[in-house]
Structure 1
Amino acid sequence: MNRTAPGVAGGPACSTRAGAAGMRVPTPRGDARPMTPPLPSSDNAPTPRRRGKLLWGGAGVGVAVLAGGLFLWSPRPPSPGSTPRDTHDAHGASHADHTHEAPKAKSQAPMEVLVQTDRAARAAATGQRAQAHEALAAALKLAPQHAPALLVKACLALEEGQDTEASDALRRLEAAAPGAPEAKLLARLSELRRTPGMDWQQAFRQAWVDLGQPDLQQSELLPGAAPLPPDPAIAAAAKAAWERAASDDVRLMLALGSPRLDADKALFLLRQVPRLEDPSLFVAVMDVLRGEALPQSSHDEARTVFRQKLEALAAANPRAMQIQLLLLLGDTEPGSEMSAAEIDRLEQVAALPVWREGVFTRTYEEARKLLEGSGVPDVSATAMAVAAHSVTDRGSWVLRTRNVGTRGSLSPEGRKRLGRITRDIGTRMAEQPTMVERVVGLQLVRGGAQEMGDEAGREQALARIEALEGAVTLFRKASMDRWPLHALTEALIQASTRDEPAYLLSFTRVEANQAAETQQP
């Protein structure tokens, strides 16, 4: 199953990918520069962006759990054969760097069995049960003991409450893959689902912990273990959804959530910019149109359109740091020295009460509402990709680079002042419920505290970053993005969109509680 973006970032987890370290986008000034730049891993200097790895070698947006804009915002693995755009996480890597690299297992099953199993898994993951059963029947008719197909069969039976069929599928799976942790996890999940008040993601997490937190990143039973050619049905469904879209609002969401953006869709997005009143959607369109999506002949128009709309949105949203910072620094040269006037204006931005006006959950829910009934292959993943693009931020990165270019010319007091400004901006950004904003904000806080000589503040920010990174590492072991359980995905989206970092940290707390219980006399 190649379900696609996040995100730990991603929750939301989000995402579209492309490993395009050299992608450029026309900016209002007229020169081309990276639209989504790398973030420094040190306190002072940016580091080169790592080239992202495509999840499952594939395409599409992720299931809404990290693989994005966020770590969790890429729950659905990519569709086979696709080449998604890159959405960068808090460390400057694509979201695919936050997700595991799918194992490149060499299956002994015939290609038709692999293809039908993949179709079944993707359909199961997206709640299309009839299609899942049809593809699964075709796979098992050709290979009755194909373990990955039996895993999908067990997952479908569990979701449908077919206990007898689930038990039979798990028995056959155990026979086909003796001792497989995937089968044991599903059996334990089936037991825990009978616990009143325990939803799918809670039951799954507890089952995984009860089994000793097995590392499933290299699983050959979960979907995505074998590289597959593109499934033409996915492209056909996406094309049909675009052609029969009921309104430009629907097309806007389809284009923003598309794993591939052709010139026609790029020009369509550019035409929508003047009417955008939501800063989140404006930021999303800017992110999607980075690179070479627009024809060269449209670059001058794009610079004008984006600048005019940015000025209008800044005037309409005077309390939000994100849009004001983008207006102040987004079109300036990264790494250049700041003028005294810019620092004064930056200090005013740092005093604003909120990072951004838009709410991530609302962006996701509105996108999903518009996409319902559109025929897009994966509504929740496409909506999550839209939301993930909406938190991509250039202004904070330019601030980091220009801090580096400015600090050498400042007096000790001037450096402390700039550090305080940076810390205050980072503090507001770190209040957001996405991994990408939380970690970037904490990086700003850490750098600002260092400039201020506040070692305790710097250490505290660093400890919070390391705790989040540890939670991501632990979360990845469960490979939640590869399980063909639609109910699990939906429960995970609900939990992660509320507060993605908190959700990830909850994995660490479960581990700590489990350790404490085993140490009790």
Structure 2
Amino acid sequence: MAWARAKKADTRLVAALAEGALEEEQQRWLAANLRDVTDPVLLRAAFEYFRGDALLPGVRAEALAVLRPRLQQLAGAAPQEMQTPLLLLLEQSSPDAPVTTGELQELERIASLSDYRATPLVRMHAEAERLLQSVGVARPEASAFSAVVSELALTGPYLLSKRAGVTGDKLSAAERERLGRALWAIGERVAEESTLVEHLVGLRLMKQGAEMLKEPERLTQVTAAIHEGQQMIGVAPALQVARWPIPSLQQAWLAATLENEWAHLRAFVAPLNHGE
């Protein structure tokens, strides 16, 4: 197991992200050594990991108390990135709580930022692969991809979508319009990222924004894009890439996925749509 061979906190964190649940002793070790994790991507991933219900409540509280101030520093160091401030704004709130007027002002500020995620997926995967390779993981590229999926940090958009969905008339008509524009703008930035899951999460935020703004043209456009994305979901499982006998083909598939998963899978779906 990679955990046993690893000694540093960042390597053990990537191993946990790749392999899943940790035992109690491992949870406690990682929580106690989070100060040694310096990579911004891993800090966000650790924050989301320690929010999980499967972890011991005391360990979770200890870890989050260490990570919150570090994420606040991270947000200040990357002033044009949405990911961290959105997560910090919403992560302690209930998914069933309406968006408040005070939160709306901060959401508008976040919506004005230029990027959702600053670190390219290729770079994230290369670093995870390097760490796993350093402790002798077999096929580190596959385990690294599992870790990278956990590093996407989509709790912020998820909570925003849930809370916007229950806001209803808790805001004035003018405030609902402002929220709709913020949802569209934030969703647009998320949908610009390269992975299928980010693209779909962003599109769904955009759809909520278009519905709130009562703009049928935008709604039609984004609904069609969501339909296209849903068609892509089954492409990779149907092709059973992991069972391909030629390693170079598997590597080429992974490289294309890391470069731009949405565009890569869209190439398989487009002929189907053309035949409809």
Q: Quote the Cα distance in structure 2 between the aligned partners of 1:452 and 1:292.
A: 35
More helix by share: 2
State how far apart, in whole Å, the 1-side matches of 2:60 and 2:21 are.
19
Q: Distance in 2 between matches of 1:340 and 1:368?
A: 43
8 Å CA contact 2:86–2:110 kept in 1: the answer is yes
Write the mapping of 1:123-272 to structure 2, written as runs, cut at 5 A. 238=1, 241-245=2-6, 247-272=8-33
Match of 1:320 in 2: 81
Partner of 1:395: 156
Q: 1:381 aligns with which of 134, 142, 162?
A: 142
Structure 2 unaligned regions, length at least 5: none
Deviation at 1:411, TM superposition (A): 2.8
Paired residue secondary structure (1:353): coil
Deviations 1:85-138 (A, max 9, x none): xxxxxxxxxxxxxxxxxxxxxxxxxxxxxxxxxxxxxxxxxxxxxxxxxxxxxx
**2:91 aligned residue (326, 330, 334):** 330
Q: Is the 8 A contact 1:278 1:358 kept in 2?
A: no
Once residues 247 and 402 of structure 1 are traced to their aligned partners in structure 2, the CA distance between those partners, rounded to angstroms, is 38
Change (3 A) 1:475 1:251: closer
SS at match of 1:497: helix
The match for 2:212 is 451
| Higher deviation after alignment, 287-296 or 306-315 | 287-296
Asked if the contact 2:190–2:202 (Cα under 8 Å) also holds between the matched residues in 1, the reply is yes
The whole-number CA distance in structure 2 between the counterparts of 1:502 and 1:420 is 26
Label 1:470 to 1:306 Cα distance change in 2 as closer, same or farther (>3 A): same
Give 1:335's aligned amino acid.
D
TM superposition shift of 1:374: 2.1
The one of 169, 177, 185 aligned to 1:424 = 185
- For the aligned residue pairs, the C-alpha RMSD in angstroms reads 2.3
Contact 1:255–1:269 under 8 Å retained in 2: no
Structure 1 unaligned blocks of 5 or more? 1-237, 517-521
Cα offset, 1:511, TM superposition: 4.9
What letter corresponds to residue 251 of structure 2 in structure 1? E
Q: Which residue, out of 469, 479, 489, partners 2:230?
A: 469
Match of 2:244 among 454, 478, 483: 483
**Contact 1:263 1:293 (8 Å CA) reproduced:** no
CA distance in structure 1 between the partners assigned to 2:98 and 2:52 by the alignment: 26
Aligned equivalent of 2:46, options 285, 298, 316: 285
1: CA distance between counterparts of 2:55 and 2:246? Answer: 37
Q: 1: CA distance between counterparts of 2:92 and 2:140?
A: 34
Whether the aligned pair in 2 keeps the contact of 1:335 and 1:403 (CA below 8 Å) is no
**Structure 1, 343-352 or 284-293: larger mean CA deviation:** 284-293
Task: Please give the alpha-carbon distance, in whole angstroms, between the structure 1 residues aligned to 2:180 and 2:260.
Answer: 28
TM-score by length of 1: 0.50
- Give the distance between the partners of 2:219 and 2:273, measured in 1 at CA: 25
Structure 1 range deviating more: 371-380 or 492-501: 371-380
495, 505, 509: which one aligns with 2:266: 505
In the alignment, which of 88, 112, 133 is matched to residue 351 of structure 1?
Answer: 112
- Partners of 1:242 and 1:275 in 2: how far apart? 16
Residues 50 and 63 in structure 2, CA contact (< 8 A), matched pair in contact too: no
Deviations 1:336-385 (A, max 9, x none): 13332211111111101111222221110111122225222331111112
Residues 242 and 254, structure 1, Cα contact 8 Å, conserved in 2: yes
Q: Do residues 362 (structure 1) and 123 (structure 2) align? A: yes
CA distance in 1, matches of 2:210, 2:273: 30
Distance 1:472 1:293, change over 3 A: closer
**Bigger shift: residues 380-389 or 436-445:** 380-389
Equivalent-residue separation in structure 1 for 2:16 and 2:237 (angstroms): 29
Instruction: Quote the residue 1:415 is aligned against.
Output: 176
SS in 1 for 2:113: coil
CA contact (8 A) 1:354 1:428 kept: yes
Contact 1:450 / 1:458 at 8 angstroms: preserved in 2?
yes
| Deviation per residue, 1:235-259 (Å, 9 max, x gap) | xxx2xx4333364443332222223
Q: Secondary structure at the match of 2:118?
A: coil
For 1:309, the equivalent position in structure 2 comes to 70
Counterpart-to-counterpart distance in 1, 2:129 and 2:172: 51
CA contact (8 A) 2:51 2:60 kept: no
Deviation at 1:320, TM superposition (A): 1.0
Would the aligned equivalents of 2:32 and 2:63 in 1 still touch at CA under 8 Å?
A: no
Question: SS where residue 372 of structure 1 aligns?
Answer: helix
Query: Alpha-carbon deviation of 1:431?
Result: 0.3
> What is the rounded CA distance, in whole Å, between the counterparts of 1:429 and 1:505 in structure 2?
18
Which 4+ runs in 1 deviate beyond 6 A?
A: none
Matched residue type, 1:337? P
Which one has a bigger Cα radius of gyration? 1
